[in-house]
Amino acid sequence: MKYYVNGAPKVESTGETEFKKAGRRLDAVLTAVKTGDYLSPQDRKITVAELWEGLLTDYRKNGREEVRQLEIKWELRLKAAFGNLRVMQVTTDRLNAYVLKQQAEGLSNSTINKDMANLKRAFNLGYRCTPKKVKEVPVFPGRLKEAPPRKGFVEDGTYNKLAANAGSLWLLAVAYASGFRREELLSMKVEQIDLLARTITLHVGETKNDEGRVVKMTQEVFLLLQACCHGKGPEDRVLTRAGQPIIDIRDAWAEMCKKAGVSGIILHDFRRSAIRNMVRRGIPERVAMMISGHKDKIRIRPLQCRIGG
């Protein structure tokens, strides 16, 4: 079939063996050219990985959510499911299959919702660019019902059990002392650690709420980070395994909890516990929330003690 795009002639196979079907294929192409939805044969080969790279570029440009967090999500789950697919191969059925697979593997609905939201944004960016990389954005699954916010805390006794069986003790120590988010911990670079001032710096635009902060280390955190940073360059990740950045702690976390004889504890519980512990030490709750990056207040359980034996 032969047609024109902006006055330039284009010739390509219809991919059909019957004349009527070939005619309908040509009509569809001419309609796409007229409406501005035309994709060249080369553009039709664009993969989801290219769309995701466009999403990362958009986040870098606008200084929104930390790019490293999106990179982790891609490497951890989305790449295996969509990385090699062409954009035109992504259908609602494929998206639903991804949701069911992740649910079967124990991923929370809130995390799946975030994956779908990021992927949908990547498609929308591809659709709105010039020339279009996406002819039609697929219909994404409806938002899954999310569990109510957890209210669990980690007591010192439980923390000590976990720490005794932790392969990456510094991650637990920093989370328990400061309440940093998992992504903030996993993406932390050596240049953010000031051993002389004993501070950890989270830069503006690299946190969930886009606000930077500087946090003082406890003695335990200082000693652990000192060992973790030894022999590394400024751009190296603090948390590594065999010299490679760690992007997934689920298996290690499950093994640690099993060895410690502790169940039902997730890393996010350390965030609430960090604020509670700081408040109990006399730090104003507003300051504690600034250290951890919290926006919403949490209910601090009073410290219980027995009087008179």
For position 233, which CATH number holds? 1.10.443.10
Domain for residue 119, yes or no? yes
Query: How do the pLDDT tens digits run along the chain, 309 residues long?
Result: 998 988 889 898 888 899 999 999 899 889 888 877 677 777 678 899 999 999 999 988 886 656 877 888 898 899 999 988 889 889 999 999 999 999 999 888 988 999 999 999 999 999 998 888 888 899 999 999 987 766 678 888 888 888 888 876 777 788 877 778 787 888 889 999 999 999 988 876 565 555 677 888 888 888 888 888 989 999 999 888 888 888 778 788 888 888 888 888 887 788 778 777 787 777 777 776 676 665 555 554 544 444 343
* 162 and 285 together in one domain: yes
**Domain shared by 82 and 31, yes or no:** no
Question: Which residue among 87, 108, 128 closes a domain?
Answer: 128
For tokens 């948390």, what's the residue? 239
User: What is the rounded distance in angstroms from the CA atom of residue 293 to the CA atom of residue 257?
Assistant: 26
Task: Please tell me the predicted confidence (pLDDT) of residue 275.
Answer: 78
For 177-235, the DSSP string reads HH---HHHHHT-BGGGEETTTTEEEE-TTSSTTS--EEEEPPHHHHHHHHHHHTT--TT
**Residue 143 CA to its chain's centroid (Å):** 17
Point out the domain boundary residue: 109, 128, 147.
128
- Residue 270 phi/psi, 5-degree rounding, is -70, -25
What is the domain extent for residue 116? 45-128
User: Do 163 and 278 belong together in one domain?
Assistant: yes
Do 182 and 213 lie in one domain? The reply is yes
Asked if residue 253 belongs to a domain, the reply is yes
Please give the tally of structural domains in the chain.
Answer: 3
**CA distance linking residue 113 with residue 26, whole number of Å:** 38
Q: Give pLDDT tens digits for 201-238.
A: 887 656 555 567 788 888 888 888 888 898 999 999 98
pLDDT at 309: 37
pTM for this predicted structure: 0.55
Note whether residue 254 is domain-resident: yes
* Residue (of 58, 53, 67) closest to 187 by Cα position: 67
Q: Are strands 8-11 and 2-5 parallel, antiparallel or unpaired?
A: antiparallel
Considering the domain architecture, whether residues 190 and 285 belong to the same structural domain is answered as yes
- Provide the residue count of the chain: 309
Residue 134 lies in a domain: no
Check whether residue 51 and residue 24 sit in a common domain: no
Return mean pLDDT, the chain.
82
The answer on 86 and 16 residing in a single domain is: no
Q: Does residue 307 sit within a domain?
A: no
Same domain for 96 and 208, yes or no, is no
